[in-house]
Amino acid sequence: MPSTVLDSDIFRDVFGTAEMRAVFSDDNLLKCYVEAEVALAVAQGRTGVIPQNAADAIAKTAPTVALDRAKLKQEAENIGYPILGLVRQLSAKLGDAGRYIHWGATTQDIMDTATVLQVRAGLAIVERDITAVSAALTKHAEKYRDTPMAGRTHLQQALPITFGYKCAIWLDALDRHAARLRELKPRALVAQLGGAAGTLASLGEKGLDVRSEYARALNLADPPITWHVARDAVVETVNFLGLVTGSLGKIGFDIMLMMATELAEAFEPFAAHRGASSTMPQKRNPISSEILVANAKAVRQHAGLMLDAMIQDFERATGPWHVEWMAVPESFILTAGSLAQAKFMLEGLIVDESRMRRNLDMTQGLIVAEAVMMGLAPHLGRQQAHDVVYDACRTALAQGSSLFDVLKANLAITSALPADRLHALCDPANYLGQAPAMVDAVVRKPRGS
């Protein structure tokens, strides 16, 4: 019976995706276990550790064995791990070749390797979807390169920016995540084979050759040493997912605030009753954004949990390893859910440029007080210019006047700057700094660099 948002018939496609759930499903997990056992037999056949005909039989027959799930569940509950029960069932179906399955390996070898196979498939999905989200952000950065809006700090209007600049900041973060993913793969996609204490003693002098062939059969990297209790690569993977969902959460949080009635600058895609309230017909809630924020918080918790689980005892852990069984699948599923929500939201994002401009003009020029100050500084000195403009801002606020009207009434200011120059300084669209140029730098950067 489904009991969490990740397997709930109601919520599972809100917080995750069917595609990523399939990667971490029991069906695929068992398939990966069998794939690891087959690769081990193939490697041992190639190196002469087991008879070649036995290796061939295992490779041919093991993937076709119909496993008794109920029996496997019962034995896993009793033993604490599923591999012994799996090996028993495979061995019983393989005839004489069954004597050679799981030769010299330990449970963690197979389970770790299966996890790596799942991680490889999961990262492929993440990589693809980061590319899709980046493509959507690239379009917005280009389209709104010069669209002025209020930049906000401490939730107050600060200086003018462009919406394209905001999108380019989001895009640049995803570019860094794409680079991190490429750098992560060689460390994370590594086979595990060490035997009981990691020394490959059960395979004698051919242990390293077997491990090399095992990794080759699985198209994984061959580690220099067993990593049973050196979990940094798995931990790095989940923390990478925490970074991705964190950046997506930042995007969601910004869009959520921009959808607020008082701002109304950008909106998630419209669909009938999407984000509707059960009692307030006017509502249009930021559903995707809310999921992005929630998923980021959940994956962050898993990232911390994984860091804690790095501290393992001696050569095989008594407990911390089990943390990964929970944290890895859930982190991948939540990340896939965030990427899917971000893709949907950004590909259909509705941007109200006129409202951005109205909000930018809301303070009647106060948002460009710095521009006026810097324009006056060469004539009055920086500090005096600051003080004059500061006083003008206070007067404008008290009178409800525009900054320009207050400034043009000040003889010290008008003697330093002509009216047309003063008027230009008070236009927020003229004080965008290098925002458009920075947008160009991000957009023109080859994706994947």
Residue 277 annotated to the active site: yes
Contact 117, 35 (CB under 8 A): yes
The residues near 153 (Cβ < 8 Å, ≥ 6 apart) are none
Residue 273 annotated to the active site: no
From CA 21, how far away is CA 334, in angstroms rounded? 10
| Count of beta carbons in the 10 Å neighbourhood of residue 284 | 16
Helix orientation angle between 163-188 and 107-143, rounded to the nearest 10 degrees: 160
Contact 243, 65 (CB under 8 A): no
Residues facing 350 on adjacent strands: 267
Which is the catalytic residue, given 277, 322, 379, 415? 277
Which is the catalytic residue, given 154, 273, 278, 449? 154
From CA 337, how far away is CA 248, in angstroms rounded? 11
Element (H, E) at 19: helix 18-23
Alpha helical stretches, state H, 62-202:
69-79, 83-93, 107-143, 163-188
Chain-centroid distance of CA 445 in Å reads 21
Helices and strands (DSSP H and E) totals, the chain: 19, 4
Residues in the chain: 449
Burial tier of 45 (Cβ tally within 10 Å: 0-12, 13-18, 19+): buried
Catalytic residues: 154, 277
